Amino acid sequence: MTQSDTEVAQVTELAKRRGFFFAASTAYGGTAGLYTFGPRGAAVKSNVEDAWRERFTVQEGHFEIESPTIMPEPVFEASGHLDGFDDMLINCPECNTSHRADHLVETATTVEDAESLPAPEVEELVARYEVCCPSCNAGLAGEAIDTFNLMFETEIGPGLGTPGYLRPETAQGIFVEFPRLKEYARNQLPFGVTQIGRAYRNEISPRQSIVRTREFTQAELEHFIDPAGDMPDISPVADVEVSLYPASEQAGETTTYRELTIAEAVKESVIENPWIGYYLGIAHQWYEDIGVDMSRFRFRQHLAGERAHYAADCWDAESEVGGDWIEIAGFAHRGNYDLSKHDAHADDDFSVFVPYDEAKTVEKVIVEPDMSVLGPAFGSLASEISEAIKALAGREPDAFDSDQVTVTVDETEYTIDVADTNFRVETQTKHGEHIIPHVIEPSFGIDRTVYTLLVHAYREDAIDTEDRSYLSLESTMAPTTVGVFPLVSNVPELVDRTEAIVKSLRDAGFSVIQDDSGTIGRRYRRQDEIGTPFCVTVDRESAAEGESGTVTIRERDSAEQVRVPTTELIKQLAGLTEGQTTFSDLRSRYPVIEGE
For residue 2, the model assigns a pLDDT of 54
pLDDT value of residue 1: 47
Is a pLDDT exceeding 70 seen at residue 267?
yes
Residue 544 has pLDDT above 80, yes or no: no
Task: Verify that 524 and 576 share a domain, yes or no.
Answer: yes
Q: What type of residue sits at position 366?
A: I
Between CA 131 and CA 104 the distance in angstroms is 7
For residue range 164-173, what is the model confidence (pLDDT) as tens digits? 999 999 999 9
> What average pLDDT score do residues 234-262 get?
93
Residues 92 and 131 in one domain: yes
For position 311, which CATH number holds? 3.30.930.10
Give the burial string for 518-552 (b: 16+ CB within 10 Å, else e): eebeebbbbbbbbbbbbbbbbbeebbeeeeebbbb
H/E segment holding residue 6: helix 3-17
What residues contact 228, with CB distance under 8 A and at least 6 apart?
A: 435
Please report the pLDDT score of residue 308 as a whole number.
72
| Least confident segment among 265-279, 350-364, 524-538, 569-583 | 350-364
The predicted pLDDT at position 595 comes to 72
Specify whether 375 is located in the same domain as 329: no
485 backbone dihedrals φ, ψ, rounded to 5°: -135, 140
pLDDT at position 421, please?
Answer: 96
Residue 188 sits in the same domain as residue 272: yes
How many angstroms separate the Cα of 512 from the Cα of each of 341, 477, 584?
Answer: 50, 14, 23
Q: Are residues 184 and 222 in the same domain?
A: yes
Nearest CA to 357 among 429, 428, 432?
A: 432
Task: Give pLDDT, residue 148.
Answer: 83
Position 527 in a domain: yes
Q: Where are the alpha helices (DSSP H) in 440-594?
A: 446-457, 492-507, 520-530, 569-577, 583-589
Percentage of the chain beyond pLDDT 90 is 77
| pLDDT tens for each residue of 504-513 | 999 999 999 9
Residue 546, pLDDT above cutoff 80: no
pLDDT band at residue 3 under the 50/70/90 scheme: low
Q: Is the pLDDT score of 208 beyond 90?
A: no
- Quick check: 4 pLDDT over 80? no
User: CATH number of the domain that 140 lies in?
Assistant: 3.30.40.230
pLDDT tens sequence across 97-112: 889 898 899 888 888 7
Given pLDDT bands bounded at 50, 70 and 90, which one contains residue 413? very high
The overall average pLDDT reported for the chain is 93
Mean pLDDT over 62-77 rounds to: 96
Cβ atoms of 170 and 71 closer than 8 Å = no
Q: Which residues contact 559 (CB under 8 A, 6 or more apart)?
A: 463, 524, 528, 596
Q: Is 288 exposed, middle or buried (0-12, 13-18, 19+ CB in 10 A)?
A: middle
Residue 199 and residue 324 in one domain = yes
Half-sphere exposure of 52 (CA within 13 A, CB side): 26
What is the residue range of 53's domain?
Answer: 3-69+167-337+441-446
CATH code of residue 493? 3.40.50.800
Q: What single DSSP character describes residue 186?
A: T
Q: Is residue 396 part of a domain?
A: yes
Task: State the DSSP code for 422.
Answer: T
Residues 393 and 502 placed together within one structural domain of the fold: no
Q: State whether 57 and 106 are in the same domain.
A: no
- Residue 125, pLDDT above cutoff 50: yes
Residue 452 lies in a domain: no
> Stretch 489-500: mean pLDDT, rounded?
90
Counted domains in the chain: 4
Q: How confident is the model at residue 490 (pLDDT cuts 50, 70, 90)?
A: confident
**Looking at the domain assignment, is residue 345 inside a domain?**
no
- My answer on whether 249 and 294 are in the same domain is yes
Cβ pair 194, 57 in contact under 8 A: yes
Residue type, 299: F
The mean per-residue pLDDT over the stretch 19-28 comes to 96
Q: Are 501 and 559 in contact (CB under 8 A)?
A: no
Cis check: omega of the bond before 355, within 30 degrees of 0: no
Residues 35 and 181 in one domain: yes
Looking at 446, 468, 497, the residue that finishes a domain is 446
- Tell me if 466 is assigned to some domain: no
Q: If you average pLDDT over residues 53-70, what whole number do you get?
A: 98
468 found inside a domain:
no
Instruction: List the strands of the sheet with 146-149, edge to edge.
Output: 98-100, 86-91, 146-149
Q: What is the mean pLDDT of residues 465-477?
A: 94
Return the pLDDT at 545: 60
- Note whether 333 and 415 are same-domain residues: no
Together in a domain, 129 and 39: no
User: Does 79 reside within a domain?
Assistant: no
Residue 364 has pLDDT above 60, yes or no: yes
Residue 455 counted as domain residue: no
